Structure 1
Amino acid sequence: MNLERLYGATVGALVGVVVVSTPVVAHVDYVTEGGGSGPGVVDFLVTVLSDPLNLALLAAGGTGVTVATLGWLRYGDHLADVTVTRRTLRSYQPYLGWLLRLATGLPLMGAGFGGYFFSPVVSVEARLVQITLAFLLLFGLATRLAALAGLLTYAVGLATHFPTLLLSSEYVAGFLGILVVGPGQPSADLLFRRLVLTDGTIMSRFRGMTTVSDLLSGLGIEKSVAPLLIRVFLGLNFAYLGVTEKWLDPGRALQVVEKYDLTAVAPVAPEMWVFGAGLGELAVGLLILTGLFTRSAAGAGFLILTTTLFGLPDDPVLAHVTLFGLTSALLITGSGPLALDRTVVPALRARIGRTPTDADAERATTAD
């Protein structure tokens, strides 16, 4: 099976899981109390979409995004700041493995000491397992094996806590990214690797042993596929959160609006607050999933998380560290393979008549 078919099958299966899942809450559940009643999904959507002011706001927002997108396609590459920013972000590639390890290991360590299983709403005692895996990831020791063990641990938990743990699916993106990218630098694995490759060391006796990296290479899985794996699970996570937490369970989301008096921040109806939040997360998720304006979408996702961090003071920040790290990783890598950035974006630039630049040729291999 080639990469295109594998990508299509994976996305199709994951979307199917999302569709058949019952509405659940996690991040909203972190800051609201259980119980209470709220409008049904249909009533909620009718309330939002039957209000002329809400429709005008949505139309204005859509127009603004369209104008900004066209401006970016036409003029973005002519800004030296943009070129330098992209080049600098790509220069961080050697530290990508370290970033993924920190982003996955730190919240996993917090989950172990906090007494919950990946998500703060799943109270399962797995302290020793999670702390051990977190230590190995943070130290960069047996990194790929630890990531594989983390994937299996998550899969076992998902089988018994479905669909709740789907809302922590960003761990899957983190584990897969680490498995493909490897430990990076600095790491204990890199130290041992250099000892093995240096003549005259005791560790050099183990030279020639098959490693996980060798097995992955034998299967044709290279580091370049990491952005694709991160995009699939991170994009679906954002989209899933936006739909299930906001649109399919508006009652709990409306509690958040009331608790933090968000209508004082933006004077719109509470229902519009919830709908807009869900729409934003869904849009960011779909852009990341399809690899369309990937870096911009990752930056928007990072901004959403930052706003949540400062806007909801009792939200457990540690539970969102993985999302922060994964969006940062996509800012570094760009879209990777099988992305609309490689097909649709160049076609749009040609359609609006922009003169190609050297940046276009560069982006043909490092799409963003």
Structure 2
Amino acid sequence: MTRYTASAAAALAVLFAVVPGRALAHVRYVTPGDGGERAVELLAAVVADPLALALLLGGGAGAVVTGAGWLRFRPFRLDLAVLRQTLRSYDDLLPWLARLAIGLPMVGAGFTGYLFSPAATADFLGVPGALVRLFGIGVGFLLVFGFATRLTAAVGLLGYLVGLALSPALLLAFEFVPGLLAILLLGGGRPSADHVFSRLSAVGGTVYQRIDPVRETLAPVGERLADRDELVPVIVRVGLGFSFVYLGVVQKLLMPGQALSVVAKYNLTEVVPVSPELWVVGAALTEAALGIALALGLFTRAGCGVAILMFTTTLFGLPDDPVMAHVSLFGLVSMLVITGGGAYSVDRWLAERFDDDTDVQQREDEPAPTAD
């Protein structure tokens, strides 16, 4: 009975997580202005509806029961331990994945004429459009090809901070901050132009080795940054967590007008027949809860799976939402699928407590069964 209840609660929680969550994520991209509704009015409408309260409380309780039940019974323990070890074996692909996750949307932003976020166009920022385009295209292409990767990431991060000073709207694309910081630590990796040139520079007698002007100067800096690459999953999950909480709390609960406009524009109440106010509050609480879980490193890979499902739902559910605006999110979440919660995470503490990886090692050391 306990397992059945946990499964039913999980289904309800997934319904409220997947359907409304990212369908309202970047609402400024697809709706103009603010409808003028206030957070107090939004919450009052939900509190006054017994069905809405029951669904919200049931979804929250279902998520808690599901998590507690998982920790209590821990099904598929060995299978998941093998899966975690296999995913961690792909960590050599992290620099390439991070570069594509940040470089490709920056190229797209440059060609389209906005800075990181579709909400931050050149006119909105009050800067020349050519400058915005050259910045996005230049930084993006250098990151994709992995040329002067760490220096390029630093320039990209500086550009984001300058843009944020001009317009707080860039907080809608805060995921670029952890992405660029991760690239600073990881470097270009392989395949990348930096890897090719490093090989040329490392072999004595090559023409490039004799004319390379920066190897001796910058190599020690890169090595010191690479020594802290264990912080990459921490930076990515905390940055993504902040982004989710900001989108849920600030953009929806505190400024509900635009989110309600999305519900009306796409007739989302026909998809799930609940009130528009419940749609917005459910989406806000889902994103905030997911963001907190990611920041804490709690069920990190499971949370990433929910996030990927939410992103995919958005791409099909909101045809006006720019596809390039989600590439960075897809890429950074995929990085966490590989790394897991990493250091300073609840997941790490749970893994050490239950010794899951030790179980896998013991099974690997056992002789393979033979046929009689």
Residue 110 of structure 2 aligns to which amino acid in structure 1? G
Q: Does 1:31 align with 2:37?
A: no
Instruction: Give, as a single letter, the amino acid of the residue that structure 2 aligns with 1:149.
Output: V
CA shift digits 1:317-348 (9 cap, x unpaired): 111111111111111111122222233x469x
Deviation at 1:47, TM superposition (A): 1.2
Of all paired residues, the percent bearing the same amino acid is 51
- Give me the whole-angstrom Cα distance separating, in 1, the residues matched to 2:80 and 2:331: 22
Tell me how far apart the structure 2 counterparts of residues 109 and 54 of structure 1 sit (CA, whole Å).
43
Q: Which has the higher contact order (CA 8 A, sep 6+)?
A: 2
What is aligned with 2:367? none
Q: Is the 8 A contact 2:81 2:356 kept in 1?
A: no
Aligned to 2:187: 182
CA contact (8 A) 1:111 1:117 kept: yes
Measure the CA separation in 2 of the matches of 1:35 and 1:278.
Answer: 17
**CA distance in 2 between partners of 1:69 and 1:283 (Å):** 13
Deviation by residue 1:50-96 (Cα, 9 ceiling, x = unmatched): 32111211222123212321232234463444233222321221111
2:199 to 194, 212, 221: 194
1:42 aligned partner: 40
Looking at structure 2, the residues matched to 208 and 183 of structure 1 have their Cα atoms a distance apart, in angstroms, of 16
Letter in 2 for 1:175: L
Residue type at the aligned position of 2:116: F
Q: State the AA in 2 paired with 1:33.
A: P
In 2, the alpha carbon distance for the partners of 1:93 and 1:77 equals 26
Listed one character per residue, the Cα deviations across residues 117-143 of structure 1 (whole Å, up to 9, x for unaligned) are: 111121212111211111100111111
CA contact (8 A) 1:140 1:187 kept: yes
Provide TM-score, normalisation by structure 2: 0.82
Q: Which residue does the alignment assign to 1:131?
A: 137
Change in CA separation of 1:315 and 1:67 when aligned onto 2, cut-off 3 Å: same
Aligned partner of 1:203: which letter?
A: Y
| Residue 200 (structure 1) shift | 3.5
Unaligned runs of 5+ in 1: 1-24, 351-355, 364-368
How many Å apart are 1:362 and its aligned residue? 8.1
- Superposed, which structure 2 residues align to 1:345-356 within 5 Å? 345=350, 356=354
Residue 117 (structure 2) aligns with: 119
1:13 is aligned to none
Q: CA deviation at 1:276?
A: 0.5
Q: Name which of 61, 65, 89 aligns with 1:63.
A: 61
Distance 2:204 2:359 in 1: 42
CA positional deviation for 1:35 = 4.9
| Residues 109 and 50 of structure 1: CA distance in aligned 2, closer, same or farther (over 3 Å) | same
1:296 and 2:294 equivalent? no
> What is the CA–CA distance in structure 1 between the aligned matches of 2:226 and 2:25, rounded to whole Å?
37
Match of residue 222 from structure 1: 228
The question of 1:286 aligning with 2:284 is answered no
CA contact (8 A) 1:172 1:233 kept: yes
- Give 5+ residue unaligned stretches, structure 2: 1-23, 123-128, 362-372
CA offsets 1:158-182 (integer angstroms, 9 cap, x no match): 1111x21111111111110111011
- Given the alignment of the two structures, is residue 173 of structure 1 paired with residue 178 of structure 2, yes or no? yes
CA contact (8 A) 1:174 1:230 kept: yes
Equivalent-residue separation in structure 1 for 2:198 and 2:327 (angstroms):
29
- CA deviations on 1:235-261 (whole Å, 9 max, x unpaired) are 101110111221111121111111111
Q: TM-score, normalization: structure 1?
A: 0.83
Q: What residue in structure 2 maps to residue 5 of structure 1? A: none
Runs of 4+ in structure 1 deviating by more than 6 angstroms, as ranges, are 360-363
Q: Does 2:307 align with 1:309? A: no
Q: 1:79 to 1:338 in 2, by over 3 A?
A: closer
Query: Which structure 2 residues correspond to residues 77-92 of structure 1 after superposition, within 5 A?
Result: 78-92=76-90
How big is the alpha-carbon RMSD for the aligned residues of Structure 1 and Structure 2? 2.4
Which residue among 104, 110, 120 is the counterpart of 2:102?
Answer: 104
Looking at structure 2, the residues matched to 250 and 35 of structure 1 have their Cα atoms a distance apart, in angstroms, of 8
Amino acid at match of 1:182: G
Over 3 Å counting, the alpha-carbon distance change for 1:237 and 1:273 in structure 2 is same
Counterpart contact for 2:185–2:225, Cα < 8 Å: no
Q: Which amino acid aligns with 1:318?
A: M
